[in-house]
């Protein structure tokens, strides 16, 4: 602090925590001001201390050489208040004196005490929630009040879960509840498994925890080995082709999105590759109790194999395999997404999404399954206990079902007499017009996947009688979804999306033009849409 | 009209010249400049910032002057990583060196960044302090930041009770 101070600002504290803010042209003004206000003379720092209340303040303002004297009950730690004052005063070039009564107790001159509350909240916002709750709240009162602050939790909720409202609870409990749901859904078990030729050993990292037994695998029973004969009467395999299968005991974990979780995810890191040449690690999902070979080899299982990078699926008696992604080996991390909503399975490789591997698959009752073939293979399985390499939050944001459109139940067989159903379909499509493309695409997909091509043809024939030029696209869609030969591939991707867009326009036009006719059409009286 | 460099007076009464570009990275100075068009002869007083700290801030501004939006950039870099890592890693090597300083200096810079309203710097400092806090017990935190434990036993008992409840729920 120096004595010469021209047009300057300063914040000062005395022992009682009384603070004066001075904004003067010179130290002489201060001295004379202090004398006239019957205050003690300014200290060596050139500061005038003045309590805002008390007899000494009963000095008429006119006596003061200052243009402005305003006692403030502001917390000086909040620099923004002061900053605003400084700004406004600077603009008006007021020589003035602002007297503060410090509303809080005097602080020790520790570093953290200088920080305003907002800043502390910013810092706390960068912490893990666990630490925020367990640690930061017990440090001291000030931190506790900051760590419990609603605006902080609101920001966190919006950032991490995109929550817009919290209902009746506080933001903090809403956040923690959402997080707990996540924690329950994603079991934080981190497990290493080693295939030692005869059996799979599970090396759980925290076996002392109670829920380990229910959480991870079938235990040793579940880590069955395949010996000799196989599951569905396939030819015998030699001993080298034994496959150790690890399955999760619980159902797949679900990541929460919106109110309903809609996909599951797990990651496998290949830590060691086997000694044999045929070291294949298959990552995928399979029905519960699947214990016969690599996922993808046998009925109902889906797998992505390390040796050739192919994706295997056996829907019936015929193997299906497609060249899917890169091969993976020691050090790579492969993740598997099961999307229950769109009925798709896709994979990630070192945090990169590889696209859809299987679509239109029965995703009910599938559990994570890993197959290992050669001795010494070691994998690290991550069910969410440690950070995923893949950004699951981003996936969930991009693929989340935004809205539910009620679809007529599939058991209603469509006949030309049941025009009402057609009307409902059209009405439903019209509802979608204003929505985002993705929703429309998905809803159509769902709507039409219930119908087989013959039924689609029936719909088509009937609609074409109504207004032929509008419904060509609809037929394409109907046929497309079921994947009839000769039409566009099954993947409900861009092609379908484009058709959908066109169809939405078309259907909307159809509805507008033929609304009357549709309404008066014969057939069963329909229940209202929805 | 506007001169290329702007002079500011720090709390220890030094006048420092800084370029207009750097000055405009601070919202506070920026708004002061807008308020006082035509009066740019005078030095802008920054009573809460010492010259030592201001020099640090200017260093940072110089290094980041070409970032279109420093906060956005950090996010983009970490896009592929795990969600939480997005907010807590300091990606820039220069920044890492920059924050490698005494706590007193860090707090001063943080305060200055808050006062001057330099978003990127403020975020960086918050991140750094949060990283320091990570993995520490309450006692360690108190020691590090010189905080006194002013919570009463009743407070703590209430907290323990609340935790027990949530644990049983989950």
> Which chain A residues are closer than 8 Å to B133 by Cβ?
123, 127, 131, 135-136
For residue B169, tell me if it sits in a domain: no
Domain that holds residue B47: 5-155
Orientation angle between helical segments A437-449 and A494-519, nearest 10 degrees? 70
Would B165 be classed as within a structural domain?
Answer: no
Beta pairing partners, A70: A98
- In total, how many domains does chain B have? 1
Residue B166 lies in a domain: no
> Which residue in the set B82, B141, B145 is minimally distant from A388, CB to CB?
B82
Sequence-distant (≥ 6) Cβ neighbours of residue A88 within 8 angstroms = none
CATH number for B61:
3.30.710.10
Cα–Cα distance between A117 and A422 in angstroms, integer? 61
Secondary-structure percent of chain B, ordered helix, strand, coil, rounded to 5: 60, 10, 30
* Under 8 Å between Cβ of A420 and A394: no
The predicted structure's pLDDT at residue A405: 38
**pLDDT tens-digit map of A61-93:** 333 333 333 333 333 444 444 455 444 444 444
**Domains of chain A (ranges plus CATH)?**
8-101 (no CATH), 117-185 (1.20.1280.50), 190-399 (2.60.120.920), 419-519 (no CATH)
Nearest to B107 among A79, A115, A143 (CB): A115
**Which of A24, A121, A135 to mutate: most B Cβ within 10 Å?**
A135
The C-alpha angle with vertex A1 and arms to B50 and B125, in degrees rounded to 5, equals 25
Which positions in chain A touch B136 (Cβ < 8 Å)? 135
Main-chain phi, psi angles of A388, to 5 degrees: -75, 150
* Contact residues, chain B, for A159 at CB < 8 Å: 87
- Sheet with A344-349: list strands edge to edge: A200-204, A190-195, A377-382, A263-272, A333-339, A344-349, A352-359
CA distances from A110 to A193, A346, B105, B152 (A): 50, 53, 13, 21
Q: Which residue has the higher pLDDT, A291 or A346?
A: A346
Separation of alpha carbons A451 and A448, rounded Å: 5
Write out pLDDT tens, residues A101-140.
333 333 334 555 667 777 777 777 777 776 677 677 777 7
CB contact under 8 A, B85 and A160: no
- Decide if A105 touches B, using CB distance below 8 A: no
- Counting as low any pLDDT under 50, the low residues of chain B are 1, 70-86, 165-170
Strand partners, A282: A305, A371
d(CA B10, CA B158): 47
| Segments of chain B assigned E as strands | 5-10, 15-19, 44-46
- What residues in A contact B80, CB-CB < 8 Å? 351-352, 389, 391
Element (H, E) at A402: none
With a cut of 80, say whether residue A289 has pLDDT above it: no
A positions 219-238 inside 8 Å of B (CB): none
B162 inside domain: no
* Mean pLDDT confidence for A303-321: 77
Please check whether residue B68 lies inside any domain of the structure.
Answer: yes
- Contact assessment for residue A262 and residue A254, using Cβ atoms and an 8 Å cutoff: yes
Q: Is B157 on the interface with A (CB under 8 A)?
A: no
State the nearest Cα–Cα gap between A389 and chain B, in angstroms: 6
Q: pTM for the full model?
A: 0.38
Q: B163 in a domain, yes or no?
A: no
A18 forms beta bridges with A101
């Amino acid at each position: 602090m120096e004595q010469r101070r021209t047009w300057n600002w300063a914040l000062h504290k005395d022992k009682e925590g009384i603070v004066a803010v001075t904004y003067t042209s010179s130290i002489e003004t201060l001295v004379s001001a202090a004398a006239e206000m019957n205050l003690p003379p300014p200290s060596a720092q050139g500061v005038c201390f003045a309590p805002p209340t008390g007899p000494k303040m009963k000095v008429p303002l006119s006596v003061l050489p200052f243009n402005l004297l305003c006692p403030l009950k502001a917390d000086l730690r909040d620099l923004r208040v002061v900053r605003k004052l400084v700004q406004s005063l600077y603009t008006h070039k007021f020589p003035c004196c602002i007297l503060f009564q410090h509303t809080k107790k005097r602080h020790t001159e520790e570093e953290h005490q200088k920080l305003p509350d907002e800043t502390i909240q910013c810092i706390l916002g960068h912490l893990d929630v666990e630490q925020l709750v367990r640690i930061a709240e017990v440090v001291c009162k000030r931190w506790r009040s900051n760590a419990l602050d609603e605006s902080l939790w609101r920001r966190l909720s919006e950032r991490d879960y995109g929550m817009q409202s919290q209902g009746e609870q506080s933001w903090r409990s809403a956040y923690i509840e959402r997080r707990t749901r996540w924690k329950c859904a994603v079991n934080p078990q981190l497990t290493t498994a080693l295939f030692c030729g005869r059996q799979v050993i599970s090396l759980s990292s925290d076996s002392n925890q109670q829920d380990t037994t229910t959480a991870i695998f079938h235990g040793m029973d579940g880590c069955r080995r395949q010996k000799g004969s196989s599951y569905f009467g396939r030819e015998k395999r030699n001993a080298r082709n034994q496959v150790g299968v690890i399955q999760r005991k619980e159902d797949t974990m679900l990541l929460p999105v919106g109110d309903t979780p809609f996909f599951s995810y797990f990651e496998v890191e290949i830590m060691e590759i086997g000694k044999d040449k045929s070291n294949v690690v298959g990552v995928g999902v399979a029905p519960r109790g699947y214990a016969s070979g690599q996922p993808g080899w046998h009925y109902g299982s889906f797998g992505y194999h390390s040796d050739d990078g192919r994706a295997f699926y056996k829907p019936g008696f015929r193997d299906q395999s497609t060249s899917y992604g890169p091969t993976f080996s020691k050090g790579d991390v492969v993740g598997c997404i099961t999307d229950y909503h769109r009925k798709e399975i896709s994979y990630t490789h070192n945090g990169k999404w590889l696209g859809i591997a299987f679509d239109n698959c029965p995703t009910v009752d599938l559990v994570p399954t890993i197959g290992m073939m050669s001795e010494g293979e070691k994998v690290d399985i991550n069910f969410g206990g440690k950070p995923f390499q893949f950004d699951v939050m981003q996936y969930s944001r991009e693929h989340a079902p935004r809205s539910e459109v009620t679809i007529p139940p599939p058991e209603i067989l469509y006949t030309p007499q049941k025009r009402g159903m057609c009307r409902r379909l059209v009405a439903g499509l019209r509802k979608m017009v204003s929505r985002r493309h993705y929703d429309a695409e998905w809803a159509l997909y769902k709507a039409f996947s219930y119908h087989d091509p013959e039924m689609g043809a029936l719909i088509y024939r009937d609609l074409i009688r109504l207004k032929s030029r509008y419904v060509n696209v609809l037929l394409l869609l109907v046929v497309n979804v079921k994947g009839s030969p000769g039409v566009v591939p099954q993947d409900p991707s861009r092609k379908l999306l484009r058709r959908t867009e066109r169809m939405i326009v078309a259907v909307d036009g159809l509805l507008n033009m033929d609304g009357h006719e549709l309404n008066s059409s014969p057939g069963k009286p329909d229940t209202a849409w929805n | 009209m506007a001169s290329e460099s702007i002079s500011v007076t720090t709390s220890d009464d030094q006048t420092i010249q800084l370029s207009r570009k750097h000055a405009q990275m601070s919202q506070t100075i920026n708004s002061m400049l807008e308020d006082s068009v035509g009066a740019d002869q005078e030095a802008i007083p920054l009573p809460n910032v010492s010259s030592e700290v201001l020099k640090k801030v200017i260093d940072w501004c110089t290094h980041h002057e070409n970032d279109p939006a420093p906060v956005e950039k950090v996010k983009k870099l970490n896009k592929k990583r795990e969600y939480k890592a997005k907010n807590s890693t300091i990606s820039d090597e220069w920044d890492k060196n920059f924050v490698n300083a005494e706590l007193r200096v860090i707090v001063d810079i943080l305060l200055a960044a808050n006062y001057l309203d330099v978003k990127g710097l403020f975020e960086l400092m918050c991140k750094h302090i949060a990283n320091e806090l990570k993995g520490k017990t309450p006692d360690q935190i108190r020691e590090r930041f010189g905080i006194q434990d002013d919570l009463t036993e009743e407070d703590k008992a209430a907290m323990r009770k609340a935790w027990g409840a949530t644990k049983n729920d989950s």
